[in-house]
A and B are shown apart, each in its own frame.
Chain A
Amino acid sequence: MIKYLFNYIIFPGFLFTAVIGLVASWIDRKVTARVQWRIGPPWYQPLMDLVKLSIKEITVPRSASKGLFFLSPMIGLSAITLVSTFIWLINIDPGSKGFSGDIIVIIYLLTLPAIAVILGASASGNPLASLGASREIKLVIAYELPFIISLLVPIIKSGGMLRLGDIIAYQASHGAFLSSLSGIIAFIVMIFCMQAKLGLVPFDMAEAETEIMAGTCIEYSGMLLAILKLTKTMLMVALPLFLITLFWQGFNFLSLWKYVILLVIIILMRNTNPRVRIDQAVRFFWGKMTLMAILAVILAVKGI
């Protein structure tokens, strides 16, 4: 019991992932600044933002539904903590950790932060927040379809394994799925879906600062906003690690360079693209991305 609590709160779970996420978000801001020929913030900036937010006052709007307004950031944070604990533990010990069907649990848990954002925005009673929530709902519906279809590729290629540890073990003996054509196509689709799940620039219409003033988190302040930001930060660790686990033989502390490569892809995509409209995003995910994912599945069934 104490071991599980330790795993959840300190080592691979909350604290550890949060620290890596803070470093990653600093790298994100620094590289963004360098791309724009600026100098960028010092290394402790994300931590300072969180500390500052946590000592500010929390204002609750009069029209808000109070329970849900306070609860929904906690839902997102606990879900993302659980999923990062899962992914780290399974990668550290693929043989014994995990259970049959844990991929399905991870898919659901990865959707929960977006659901929490939607709930919180709808509970805050602000018209701009409800606009952001409606955009987030459309975005979730758009990216979940190609995400789940391309998730079928590693399952098919490993011969129907639904346990993450089995997929890592299969890749360890047969080579990474990324070395096959269907694996590459599914991985590219997954990277686009990851960008949308993280809510970064080509797909950040739910939080568009310039149009709807922070959108879904417009009414959040103080500690609650800090929790929302921390959830986003931890998602930036958990999602790339999930992709590496599925397609790239998993990882350990020596192969953190795989994570750095994915982080660089995320940052470059973020800095070289304008924000798309929500209808363009839905058309992109249900059109091109879904077709690519189906193609990848067909190739995987053929064994290419």
Chain B
Amino acid sequence: MSLRLKALTKSIWVYHMSTGSCNNCDIEILDLLTPRFDVERFGITLVGSIRHADAILVTGSLNLKTVPRVKAIYEQAPKPCVVIAIGACASGQGIFKNGPNCPNPVDSVLPVNVYIPGCPPKPEAMIAGIVKLIKELTGKK
């Protein structure tokens, strides 16, 4: 494994983007930083500015108002950058599938790399998703 890839996968700074969710997924994301799960073991930290981000965590059903903002935020992120859809709404529109306000699934706007379903997904599920992503990026099976 090259140093470049190792550095990219060992130090993932995540940016938390809520596109109008009910805050359940957001609370579960914050659970990842608590002593019980402690993702800083793997070098994952939450950052406040999109310019520092390596991964964007998208939560919530993408409604009409947030579509242009989500696009703008993704364009501002320094590449290489991955997008992780967290929760049933972000993965596949969830209960808003036939809703008039949320016609766009997240993956029609952003190139999503990982889907983590669940309403909300457990922190273990999120860690498993990120481990799968890292394995895919580094080519290890």
Contacts and interface: CB of A to CB of B under 8 A. Distances in A.
B40 A219 contact: no
Contacts of B79: 56-57
A59 B51 contact: yes
Contact of A58 (B35, B38, B48, B78): B78
Determine which residue in B6, B54, B78, B79 has the highest number of CB atoms from chain A within 10 A of its CB, and name it.
B78
A37 B35 CA distance: 6
Given A39-B38, A57-B78, A225 B7 contact: no
Given A219-B51, A221-B52, A56 B78 contact: yes
B48 A210 contact: yes
B72 interface: no
B111 interface: no
Given A33-B38, A51-B3, A57-B78, A45 B11 contact: yes
Interface of A: 29, 33, 36-42, 44-45, 48-49, 51-52, 55-59, 209-210, 213-214, 217-222, 225
A29 to B, nearest CB: 8
B52 A225 contact: yes
B47 A214 contact: yes
Q: Is the interface of A mostly helix, strand, loop or mixed?
A: loop
Nearest to A222: B78
B78 to A, nearest CB: 4
Contacts of A218: 48-49, 51
Given A59-B78, A225-B52, 11 more contacts: A33-B38, A33-B40, A38-B35, A45-B10, A48-B10, A52-B10, A55-B8, A56-B80, A217-B49, A220-B51, A221-B52
26 contacts: A29-B40, A33-B38, A33-B40, A36-B35, A38-B35, A38-B40, A39-B38, A39-B41, A42-B41, A48-B6, A49-B11, A49-B43, A51-B3, A51-B4, A52-B8, A52-B11, A58-B78, A209-B47, A209-B48, A210-B48, A213-B48, A214-B47, A218-B49, A220-B51, A221-B51, A222-B78
A222 B123 CA distance: 29
B126 to A, nearest CB: 17
